[in-house]
Amino acid sequence: MDIQKTKVKTNLDTNFLKLIGIITMTCDHAGKMLLPNILILQIIGRIAFPIFAYCIVVGSLFTRNVWKYLGRLVLLAVLFQIVYTFYCLPHWQNTFLVLNIFFTLAIGLLCIIGIKEKKWWLTAIAAVLAYYLNVDYGFFGVLLIVVFYLLRDYPIISIIVVTVQLLLMGSNFSYPFFWSLQSYAVLSLPFIYIRTNSNLKINKYVFYAYYPLHFLVLYLIEFLIKK
């Protein structure tokens, strides 16, 4: 299918978007694990999740088999969870068993499948999982994926709704009401809504492998520094 001939009016240059996501995500994790006092790294890192959430929507529209796509995400989520639990939680959380971002993306994709196939029970199950499971970015992270999907053909409405949602996700309900570190996620919007044509090619398995591998490299660096 030629994605350039579809109705989708937002950015379909997903390889470019994934590269931006990889770079900004690496800045975020390097900032959290190695350089926590350099806040700009975590600000840059806020760009990553909305881009990955949006790429799930594009993937759901153009993948040959959406169930295999979901299966890959679930497999990666399960495999990476062991590493994520034992290494990430001491740095970032005091709660037990925060589920990694692949669970968030997989649940968001399950919501989309339910909507596409009009199997509302699937969407309901996904919504319950998103609400009750302790996934990265929580229920509203999954909701962001659904919003991107539902408003994919209405970019002006989409950017307004997504901007408000990202600000609400970042709000700590104190002054200033609509701004916190997470609110810098709005910096991702130009990448998503301005169409590019980079002709960049990234093998999907390279992209999948990068996520756990960059964590392992950062862990090794951190270990060597503290040794």
**Structure confidence by residue, pLDDT tens digits, 102-115:** 999 999 999 999 99
List the one residue out of 216, 225, 204, 188 whose CA is nearest residue 29.
216
CA angle 197, 198, 200 (to 5 degrees): 130
Which amino acid would we find at residue 69? Y
Q: What average pLDDT score do residues 155-166 get?
A: 94
Number of helices (H), then strands (E), in the chain: 11, 0
Kindly tell me if the per-residue pLDDT of 83 is higher than 90: no
Kindly tell me if the per-residue pLDDT of 60 is higher than 70: yes
pLDDT of residue 88: 58
Which of the 8 DSSP states describes residue 87? I
Question: Rounded to the nearest 10 degrees, how much is the dihedral formed by the CA atoms of 176, 178, 181, 185?
Answer: -160
Q: What average pLDDT score do residues 16-30 get?
A: 94
* Structure-token pair, residue 190: 């130009």
Q: Rg of the chain's alpha carbons, rounded to an integer?
A: 17
* Structure-token pair, residue 153: 């053909």
pLDDT of residue 81: 83
Distances (CA, A) of 23 to 41, 132, 166, 209: 11, 31, 20, 14
99 SS3 class: strand
Q: What average pLDDT score do residues 22-31 get?
A: 93
155: preceding bond cis by omega (within 30 degrees): no
